């Protein structure tokens, strides 16, 4: 999959795309990530890419001309790029959306700043607007990193076999179970005995119950989407 990220702060991405899962995915040839400085696409001699909003008001708005030039330049023929604008007005990002995006061959992520981008770009070139949450950030770069990370993890071959099982666990709308590691006792708090038992079936059931309880208590909105098995119902009956 090819990611093209259009931003006025390209250096924000240099760290994340050379680390961890994104680095590994690129080394495996499963993912390509290209970062584009929007200022390289303006004809303005001062590399200006924004201007005051018509109608007055605070802040600045990204101009349509450099943005459209940038998006068209990185849209390669035949790859059918999906063009995404990160914005609080977008659809709330979730696992299901990440799974859909992981099916694409080419994603173009447009990162705004200030008051956002000229509406005519959103009306003509943007295919989908995505929000990572109901709060206002200073730019679209962090949301773009969130989307890239969540999508790349779902591309077949990126995660190892064990890690990919972890991804599957969330796809049933349940939160993860509690995790523990050495030492067994820390500041007087012990690791649950069942996890030390070596009894895999008991451990599996304990973990499943913890996921069910945690989700029902913390995220009833997710819990009502979860499809519970007969075993799940039994596990929830036990005190
Ligand atoms: C945002 C969000 C977000 C708003 C003004 C960038 C900023 C500036 N993007 N999910 N929440 N964007 O706050 O995606 O243009």
Residue 79 clears pLDDT 90, i.e. is over it: no
Predicted pLDDT at 166:
58
Statement: residue 167 has pLDDT above 60 = no
Identify the residues whose C-beta falls under 6 Å from ligand 1: 86-88, 112-114, 116, 131-133, 135-137, 139-140, 143
Which band of pLDDT confidence, cut at 50, 70 and 90, is reported for residue 238? confident
| pLDDT at position 239 | 81
The predicted model gives 61-83 an average pLDDT of: 92
Helix axes 20-27 and 141-152, enclosed angle (nearest 10) = 60
Class at the top of the CATH hierarchy for domain 2-152: alpha beta
Three-state secondary structure string covering 88-142: EEEEECCHHHHHHHCCCCEEEEEECECCCECHHHHHHCCCEEEECCCCCCCECHH
CATH classification (class only), 169-237: mainly alpha
Question: In the chain, where does the domain assigned CATH 1.10.1270.20 lie?
Answer: 169-237
pTM listed for this prediction: 0.92
Please give the number of the atom of ligand 1 that sits closest to the Cα of 132.
10
Q: Where in the chain is the domain with CATH 3.40.1280.10?
A: 2-152
As a whole-number percent, the residues of the chain with pLDDT over 70 amount to: 95
């Amino acid at each position: 999959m090819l990611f093209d990220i259009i931003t006025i702060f390209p250096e924000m991405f240099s760290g994340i795309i050379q680390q961890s899962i994104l680095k590994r995915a690129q080394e495996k040839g499963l993912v390509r990530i290209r970062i584009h400085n929007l200022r390289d696409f303006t004809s303005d001699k001062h590399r200006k890419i924004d201007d005051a909003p018509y109608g007055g008001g605070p802040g600045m708005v990204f101009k349509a001309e450099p943005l459209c030039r940038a998006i068209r330049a990185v849209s390669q023929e035949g790859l059918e790029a999906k063009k995404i604008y990160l914005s609080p007005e977008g659809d709330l990002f979730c696992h299901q959306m990440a799974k859909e995006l992981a099916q694409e061959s080419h994603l173009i992520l447009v990162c705004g700043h200030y008051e956002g981008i000229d509406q005519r770009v959103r009306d003509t070139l943007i295919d989908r607007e995505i929000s990572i949450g109901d709060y206002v950030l200073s730019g679209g770069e962090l949301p773009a990193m969130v989307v890239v990370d969540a999508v790349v993890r779902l591309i077949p071959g990126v995660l190892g076999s064990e890690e990919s099982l972890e991804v599957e666990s969330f796809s049933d709308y349940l939160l993860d179970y509690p995790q523990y590691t050495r030492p067994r006792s820390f500041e007087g708090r012990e690791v649950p005995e069942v996890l030390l038992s070596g009894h895999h079936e008991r451990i599996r059931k304990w973990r499943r119950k913890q996921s069910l309880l945690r989700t029902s208590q913390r995220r009833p909105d997710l819990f009502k989407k979860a499809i519970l098995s007969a075993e799940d119902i039994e596990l929830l009956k036990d005190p």
